Amino acid sequence: MQKIILKLLRFGIFLVVLLFIIFLYQLTKFLFFSAFANHQPIDYVFPAGFSTRALAEDLAQKGIIQQPNFFIFMAKLENKASYLKAGGYAFEPGVSGQYILTQLYEGRFAIRKITFIEGWNLAEIRAALLADNYLQHASNYPSLDELAKQLGIPDKNPEGWFFPDTYQFIWGISDQELLLSSYQKMQIILALEWQNRAPNLPYETPYQALIVASLVEKEAKLASERPLVAEVILNRLKKRMRLQIDPTIIYAMGENYHGKITKADLKIKSPYNTYLHYGLPPTPISSPGLASIRAALHPEVSKALYFVARGDGSHEFSNTLREQNAAVKKYLLTKSKEITP
């Protein structure tokens, strides 16, 4: 009987030691070894309201950790269970389960980026925001005047007020917050550039300069030509000439523009049609970058009143209508295109 008890005792000790070794092995794996085999980062959203167990099971189900019980054990042992932060994360390959636990405890949220391209209009900016799944979107996008009110923009149409740049954000912020940041950046930049503007410009307000900058942004492909394009616009305004800028027609056409402007399009009834109306359009037609804003506020001194695209991204500038007609014949009519100066 004693021998049987001794054998059982030895077996029990062996079993305890074996279980302890297994425990140490699994714990070591959790603490120090890669949690998942994927070679790409894994995006994960930790929903608010998840318990530690629900979180651990969800992480395991998605292949992010292999030992959910050790995740729960360490979270409680280190008093982190009640302090794990809901939000969006990007878990890098090669990190351990313990590292992931620490990342959730410290709230090391994934940093996302979105870029507003120079020359984008508000419709293009909103489309980019709507396509980003890491942002919270308004259930119903407000009208332009309502959006302006929400962001504190004094104009009823907020077009042009969003500075083109790359913006970083964490998961869960709203697209309105990003728009507000972009608007505030444009306010600051426009105010600083306005203070340093060239003397004797015809602008009455910085907003007028913003409108001209938006025209420059859409017309000039080469940075070196932007100050001269701005000067042409100002020269035509001084002489009470219609601006006749094609991008304003494209803006007025909106979704009806399909890559080509016809003679009929030049007669479109819109306050943005600078072939019909004198002066500046009522708002910017795009979000200009810093170079275009500076060009509008530091135009190149010139008598030029016209320009025509050469077809390689550059323009031919002319002082007289005769010179312009010759340039049109040279660069456009020979290519079966037509333009009205």
* Residues 250-278: tens digit of each pLDDT: 999 988 898 888 889 899 999 999 999 99
What pLDDT was estimated at residue 338?
44
Q: What percent of the chain has pLDDT over 70?
A: 85
Query: End-to-end distance of the chain based on CA atoms, in angstroms?
Result: 114
DSSP one-letter code for 222 = S
Confidence of residue 167 (pLDDT cuts 50, 70, 90): very high
Q: Residues 25-35: pLDDT tens digits? A: 666 666 666 66
How far is Cα 252 from Cα 285, in angstroms, rounded to an integer?
A: 9
- Beta-carbon contacts of residue 239 (< 8 Å; ≥ 6 apart): 305
What pLDDT was estimated at residue 140?
62
| DSSP H or E stretch at residue 219 | helix 206-219
Q: Which residue has the higher pLDDT, 292 or 73?
A: 292
Burial (0-12, 13-18, 19+ Cβ within 10 Å), 340: exposed
CATH architecture of 27-106: 2-Layer Sandwich (3.30)
DSSP one-letter code for 334 = G
pLDDT mean over 56-83: 89
Domain spans of the chain?
A: 27-106, 115-190, 200-335
What pLDDT was estimated at residue 33?
64
Whether the pTM exceeds 0.75: the reply is: yes
Q: Residues 199-230: pLDDT tens digits? A: 999 999 999 999 999 999 999 989 999 999 99
- Torsion of Cα atoms, 98 then 104 then 106 then 111, to 10°: 120
